[in-house]
Structure 1
Amino acid sequence: MNEQIAAETIRVFIALAPPDDAKEELAQALRSAYDAHPCLRWNRIEDWHITLAFLGELPRSTVALLQPPLAELAAGRRPLRLALRGSGHFDERVLWSGIGGDLEGLRSLAGEVRTLVKAHGVAFVDRPLNPHLTLARARRDDTSGVVRAAAGLSAFTGRTWQAERLHLVGSNYGRGPGPIHYRDIDSWPFGGTG
């Protein structure tokens, strides 16, 4: 029964994704942290993203209803110029890279996305936007690696890049141990010029 329910729902969020070369630039800066802190659960580089709205578990039919209005929203928005900058941690357990660049535009986009989702009857916990890219998580009994890795990456300043697509992402938590994997359900290019 639980497997049937899981097949009918999907964990969903709406996000932006840095381009591969910007992610690789950050991964290069993280090389020594990967070696120094192997006990951290490092997110896969292909899964790095900037969450605009985390919607949680949704019926697949609801996800399908969100796709046309999200495509329309993206078509009317201009690309954002962003950068990966600095580092920090949440509760000494989650290591993240900060976001720089057009933060006003990023907050505006997140607000529009959240308003659209609510207008289509999807209830979700609307937390304040804290723009970041999650890099790794610590086990409860060993958080020192996150703090040290954040300190080592605090001066990182990546190149500026353009966020050109809005992504509707599903997460696959698997049915057992192992990393979280994400996949695009759909994505749409930003088409606006203003």
Structure 2
Amino acid sequence: MEKDSVSEDVQQERLFIALALPESLKQAFSVQMNLIRDALPFKRWVHPMDLHVTLQFLGDVPKDRIAGIDAALQDFSTPSGWSSELKVGISGLGVFGRRERPSVLWAGIETDMRQLERLQRKVVEAMKPLGFEPEQRPYKPHLTLARNYAGALPFEQAALRVGENVSSAEWNWEAGAITLYKSNTRAKPSYEAIGVYAIKK
């Protein structure tokens, strides 16, 4: 039984579709992450090279289905109402989870939200015929920075003021493509791009 279980794990990949940040921006923003870590004691911090804006999480996917995902994304076309490349920036901090002990620390996204929501819906539509159902929760784009608050005292929203400078012209980029990632949580960085697909005009 143990052998079968190991074999089954190898035959699957944990996948998600996202907007990738340029490498130079990841490196620049890693400096800012180091500056806020002491003031915000979270247990697990994301490796800067893993920063991304999720469009759709696909979960554990059998390897023999990846070719179908790749084909659907190769055919990905411009969302209705798309006018130009999507300009994206990083702005401010927030948390998800319980007020006193949040589970996620995130950086906000500054962009044309209508454009980004059109793009996200288009991705969901492309994946639905392959059996990937959209999440029921509203789409809230963000950059996950850390998980599991580990402070000795209850979390205070005022602590997020340390991120008042998390907004800079140098942290802007144009998103002209979407990326298919696979996840390996045992490695750092944890996410590997296995496909990049231009958003066709």
Q: TM class, shorter-chain normalised?
A: 0.7 to 0.9
Q: Say which SS state the counterpart of residue 111 (structure 1) adopts.
A: helix
Aligned length: 189
Deviations 1:52-101 (A, max 9, x none): 00111111122210111212215777531110111101111211000011
1:90 is aligned to 96
Shift of residue 37, structure 1, vs aligned partner: 4.9
Equivalent residue for 1:172? Answer: 184
How far does the alpha carbon of each residue in 1:14-66 deviate from its partner, in whole angstroms, 9 at most, with x for none?
A: 00012123333432322322344565311111100100001111111222101
Residue 189 of structure 1 and its aligned partner are, at CA, apart by: 2.2
Match of 1:80 in 2: 86
Q: Distance in 2 between matches of 1:31 and 1:124?
A: 34
What CA distance in whole angstroms lies between the structure 2 residues aligned with 1:143 and 1:158?
31
Contact 1:86 1:153 in 2 (8 A): yes
Unmatched 5+ stretches in structure 1: none
When residues 5 and 139 of structure 1 are mapped into structure 2, their CA distance, relative to the original with a 3 A threshold, is farther
Distance 1:24 1:179, change over 3 A: closer
Q: Percent identity?
A: 29
- The aligned counterpart of 1:41 is 44
Structure 2 unmatched runs, 5+: none
CA distance 1:74–1:166, change in 2 (3 Å): farther
| Residues 14-163 of structure 1 mapped to structure 2, 5 A cutoff | 14-37=17-40, 40-73=43-76, 78-91=84-97, 92-123=102-133, 125-138=135-148, 150-159=160-169, 160-163=172-175
- Higher mean Cα deviation, 159-168 or 68-77? 68-77
Change (3 A) 1:180 1:28: closer
More off after superposition, 85-94 vs 16-25: 16-25
Q: Structure 1: how far apart are the matches of 2:95 and 2:179?
A: 25
Counting strand residues as a fraction of each chain, which structure ranks higher? 2
**Contact kept? 1:79, 1:191, Cα under 8 Å:** no
CA contact (8 A) 1:8 1:59 kept: yes
Pair 158,143 (structure 1): closer, same or farther in 2 beyond 3 Å: farther
Residue number in structure 2 paired with 1:181? 190
Larger Rg: 2
Residue identity matched to 1:120 = L
Distance 1:146 1:135, change over 3 A: farther
Q: TM-score, normalised by structure 2?
A: 0.81
Q: Secondary structure at the match of 2:168?
A: coil
1:188 alignment partner AA: Y
Distance of 1:46 and 1:102 partners within structure 2: 24
Q: TM-score, normalised by structure 1?
A: 0.83
Amino acid at match of 2:63: R
**2: distance between equivalents of 1:129 and 1:39?**
24
